């Protein structure tokens, strides 16, 4: 927040080292509300889970990071509010799945496909070929995610054309432990090159 982030995310996925309880999320959201846009990250959550998260956090967006279908994404948006749909990318043909989601999501997030056998869809710190995004146009705002850190974020922006970036493991001192200095350095690096 002090570093100038526009969005702050809370992860609700038991397989993630970043998973937070509803009580902890309520406390964090209370401190951040009005200072940035709150995002609740979920993966294939059912309606009861979504309702509990909405009640505790009152997020500005639900980030759908699972295998939610286009129909499910639309249903969540209608019933629970604005959504960011995360889409896994490894090859150019992965963008074939994007168009239907543009019609039902408020924003998109492009992340690297998870490693084979992974228990969760994102948060692995892996990158994909950012040049796959260069020159592509979408009718919704989009984020670039996956493997970003202070050392590579400016290059990732240049190669992909991203207007927004999403980071998690790249600003941690240990899995699930955010580092305030790394967050500040990351945000600064999105604005100008890091000096050696």
Q: What is the pLDDT of residues 71-127, one digit of tens each?
A: 999 999 999 999 999 999 999 999 999 999 999 999 999 999 876 655 545 555 679
Q: What is the pLDDT of residues 13-66, one digit of tens each?
A: 988 889 999 999 999 998 888 899 999 999 999 999 999 999 999 999 999 999
Q: What is the pLDDT of residues 145-156, one digit of tens each?
A: 999 999 999 999
Q: Determine the pLDDT at residue 121.
A: 54
The whole-angstrom separation of Cα 66 and Cα 43 is 4
Under CATH, to which class is 7-189 assigned?
A: alpha beta
Which strands make up the sheet holding 61-64, listed edge to edge?
Answer: 7-11, 37-42, 61-64, 83-89, 107-112, 142-144, 164-165
Say whether pLDDT at 194 is over 50: no
Q: Determine the pLDDT at residue 46.
A: 97
The whole-angstrom separation of Cα 104 and Cα 140 is 10
Q: Determine the pLDDT at residue 1.
A: 46
Q: Would you mind telling me the total number of residues written for the chain in this entry?
A: 196
Nearest to 51 by CA among 80, 87, 9: 80
The whole-angstrom separation of Cα 126 and Cα 156 is 13
Look up residue 29 and give its two tokens: 């959201």
């Amino acid at each position: 927040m002090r570093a100038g982030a526009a969005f702050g995310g809370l992860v609700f996925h038991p397989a993630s080292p970043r998973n937070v309880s509803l009580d902890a999320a309520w406390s964090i959201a209370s401190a951040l509300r009005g200072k940035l846009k709150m995002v609740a990250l979920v993966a294939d959550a059912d309606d009861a889970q979504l309702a509990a998260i909405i009640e505790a956090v009152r997020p500005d967006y639900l980030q759908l990071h699972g295998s939610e279908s286009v129909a499910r994404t639309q249903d969540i948006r209608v019933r629970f509010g604005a959504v960011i749909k995360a889409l896994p990318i490894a090859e150019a043909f992965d963008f074939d799945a994007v168009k239907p989601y543009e019609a039902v999501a408020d924003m998109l997030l492009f992340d690297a496909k998870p490693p084979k056998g992974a228990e969760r869809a994102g948060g692995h710190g892996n990158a994909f070929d950012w040049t796959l995004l260069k020159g592509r146009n979408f009718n919704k705002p989009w984020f670039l995610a996956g493997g970003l850190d202070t050392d590579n974020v400016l290059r990732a922006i240049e190669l992909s054309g991203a207007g927004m970036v999403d980071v998690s493991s790249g600003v941690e001192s240990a899995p699930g432990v955010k580092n305030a200095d790394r967050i500040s350095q990351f945000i600064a690096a999105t604005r100008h090159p890091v000096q050696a």
